[in-house]
Structure 1
């Protein structure tokens, strides 16, 4: 096979794979504009015969999807901001600061990476119940303030910062917080972007923990609200597709907007020792 034919074959296979991956998303978007019952006909139509916004109007006017959307934005943004603050400071401390028990603590962080999150859900729920944080936004946000993966990721990036740069700043009289804010943070921007995207998407798509902690419908996030809506409208495929679009679209738009920084962070991390 000639190089030109091989190139066309590879590109064709990649294009076919991309089309197969995107087709469910495209049909979900198309079905959200169909009239009630239209998507259930055989064969299922690919495009709506008469596009309508009725499903989205029903979601936001009757089903309260606007409140769920606001809850998800509030929780996801709070988790992202607070988690970045905790993970950046902890990762930098493990990388560049010398304190008693640093190695033992970091080995504990690495060991916690292999523990499934589901194992800690029951004791964590009981602790939050004792603190009175059940059915509150704080109960969803607090357990995500620091993550083992985030600390490890920042620590690996921070290790590449020259120690001489930090020592020179200390000799010049800069305090630790000033060094962190003026020198370390600008050098950690790729790691910050990567971690922010990971954290926001994880918080936005999280279903299990908000389902456990949030008992009042007024506090539901989008995934939990959509699941509760599905129990009442199991046969309304078009309405469910509209709800799925509202849930997926913000996260997809964020990833597409920041994918350059995300890929830059991954590529920089792949060459650091």
Structure 2
């Protein structure tokens, strides 16, 4: 018997079914409006004339469609340069996160070291801390790395190293690794495969769904992050796209419509990635949560 918020008896009635469909439709419309209206406002702001955008009474539908703002924003804001910076940081952060998180999850799931439960509990407890509470300790660490005395500010490592050990990704990977039958790993071990060979040849090929999810989260997280890159990348030549747009927004030669156009360009890659890979995201999230 399936448990639902509304009983099947009520749903069989015409009035109950109508009220249920109405409630679902209203909820979907409200949530769609809340999430999609900011995107709509950003896109329409990019194509409006600067005078129309500066009016005291805003217009929901643009009176004029000025597509030249995208070309102007690309050149004036140097979006191509900062786009490449952000892509470089995202790819490097993805590689380091995958390397660190996979090894940590594999060790906790299959190697089971002494104190592994304590380590996993400490990692999960770190998720309860607000990210802003860790900004000052993290900044002091990358500004003067303990023992080494190296300053990582304005370098890619200031972004990559703090994001390397992601507690959520490690937990997600560990949950998936726990579902892999032990017989497969034992068979590989009998054939002479070592721990690393088992990880590379057996575990990783079976973990493609969850690896896809972790990869998507890693790339999107590096791409859209603003506060941390704003703190550690003060050199304009090293800044990400979001930080550069924030800095250039205060300049006098950039109009509001050109800034909106820059924001649209910066948002397009992540929107495309999410729409194209949303099935993989849902499949990967649910893959490790069900015993099979």
TM-score in same-fold range (> 0.5)? yes
Give unpaired runs (5+ residues) of structure 2. 1-13, 145-149
Structure 1 CA distance for aligned equivalents of residues 174 and 273 of structure 2? 25
SS in 2 for 1:50: coil
Instruction: Tell me the equivalent position of 1:240.
Output: 259
Cα deviation code 1:13-49 (max 9, x no counterpart): 2452224431221231122112222123354233333
Cα deviation code 1:244-263 (max 9, x no counterpart): 21222211111111100001
1:63 aligns with 2:77: yes
Q: 1:272 to 1:209 in 2, by over 3 A?
A: farther
Q: CA deviation at 1:239?
A: 2.0
Structure 1 CA distance for aligned equivalents of residues 154 and 245 of structure 2? 18
Cα deviation code 1:138-173 (max 9, x no counterpart): 212221112111111111111111112111110111
1:209 aligns with 2:228: yes
Q: 1:235 to 1:219 in 2, by over 3 A?
A: closer
SS in 1 for 2:84: helix
Q: After the TM superposition, which of the residue ranges 100-109 and 208-217 deviates more from structure 2?
A: 100-109
1:37–1:238 Cα contact (<8 Å) kept: no
Q: After the TM superposition, which of the residue ranges 120-129 and 228-237 deviates more from structure 2?
A: 228-237
Q: How many residues align?
A: 273
Instruction: Pick the aligned partner of 1:73 from 70, 81, 87.
Output: 87
Q: CA deviation at 1:243?
A: 2.0
Instruction: Tell me the equivalent position of 2:124.
Output: 110
Instruction: Tell me the equivalent position of 2:18.
Output: 5
1:136 aligns with 2:155: yes
Q: CA deviation at 1:8?
A: 4.5
1:157–1:272 Cα contact (<8 Å) kept: no
Q: 1:233 to 1:194 in 2, by over 3 A?
A: farther
Task: Point out 4+ residue stretches in structure 1 off by more than 6 angstroms.
Answer: none
Structure 2 CA distance for aligned equivalents of residues 48 and 116 of structure 1? 40
Instruction: Tell me the equivalent position of 2:237.
Output: 218
Structure 1 CA distance for aligned equivalents of residues 38 and 135 of structure 2? 32
CA RMSD of aligned residues (A): 2.3
Instruction: Tell me the equivalent position of 2:29.
Output: 16
Alignment map for 1:119-134 (pairs within 5 Å): 119-130=133-144, 131-134=150-153
Structure 1 CA distance for aligned equivalents of residues 286 and 229 of structure 2? 33
Q: CA deviation at 1:111?
A: 2.7
Instruction: Tell me the equivalent position of 1:170.
Output: 189
1:197 aligns with 2:216: yes
